[in-house]
Amino acid sequence: KYPESINIVFVLGGPGSGKGTQCAKLVDDFKFIHLSAGDLLRKEQNTPGSEFGDLIAHFIKEGLIVPQEITINLLKNAIAESYEKNGGRNFLIDGFPRKMDQALSFEKIVSEGKLVLYFECPEEVMLQRLLNRGKTSGRADDNLESIKKRFTTFIQTSMPVVEYFADQNKVVKVNCNEPVDAVYKHVVQQFKEKKI
């Protein structure tokens, strides 16, 4: 069902570290398809008649990780769709996996990741970015209470995933506490070094 050689780059980092921003730039310059797990979940949540709408809304507001079956299915379908439509094989999977069970299931069901981009950013900086974005984003989790919960989940639940990949020498760490273009320069340099 899946192309034999799909290339997956996981893009991880705390809430507001700049995953979406950097992925958008990579799509412009490289042949990548950008799939944000959070975006897919929000889209599913807003699909009329979705049986998971309320559940997703609750987990996102509480900064908790939605049960893996839902997210993996959304990603699986999105990957298959891109492949069938235009033969896309190179994927940036943004904001996933962020819990160990997801990481292991995805490897088994879909594919291993080739590389992990890990965006490192001080919490204070991410907080300011998210509060600022919250003025206009309309995202239900861009408020102080939800942001704090997201930070806690990131440290307790998602960092072990980064460490799991680091043990396999797959992680490229990028400092995100710089202007967007400066961060992007580091990203491109890393991609060149790793021949992505």
Phi-psi region of 34 (alpha: psi -120 to 50; beta: other; left: phi over 0): beta
Q: Binding string to ligand UP5 for residues 62 to 101, with x set by CB under 6 A, is what?
A: -xxxx----x-----------------------xx-x---
- Residue 79 binds: one of ligand UP5, Mg ion, none (C-beta under 5 to 8 A by kind): none
Contact 11, 119 (CB under 8 A): yes
- Residue 89 binds: one of ligand UP5, Mg ion, none (C-beta under 5 to 8 A by kind): none
Name the residue whose CB lies closest to ligand UP5: 38
163 annotated to a ligand binding site: no
**Distance in angstroms (rounded) separating the CA atoms of residues 14 and 121:** 7
65 annotated to a ligand binding site: yes
CB of 129 to ligand UP5, least distance (A): 3
CB of 15 to Mg ion, least distance (A): 8
Cβ closest to Mg ion, residue 35 vs residue 70: 35
CB of 158 to ligand UP5, least distance (A): 8
63 annotated to a ligand binding site: no
Of 8-16, 43-51, 79-87, 106-114, the window that binds ligand UP5 (rule: CB under 6 A) is 8-16
Write the CA distances from 134 to 131, 138, 143, integer angstroms: 5, 6, 7
**Of 70, 122, 121, nearest to 96 (Cα)?**
70
When asked if residue 34 is in the footprint of ligand UP5 (CB under 6 A), the reply is: no
Q: Which positions touch ligand UP5 (CB under 6 A)? A: 13, 15-21, 36-38, 41, 59-60, 63-66, 71, 95-96, 98, 129, 133, 141, 150, 176, 178-180, 183
Query: Which residue numbers belong to the known binding site?
Result: 16-21, 42, 64-66, 95-98, 102, 133, 139, 150, 178
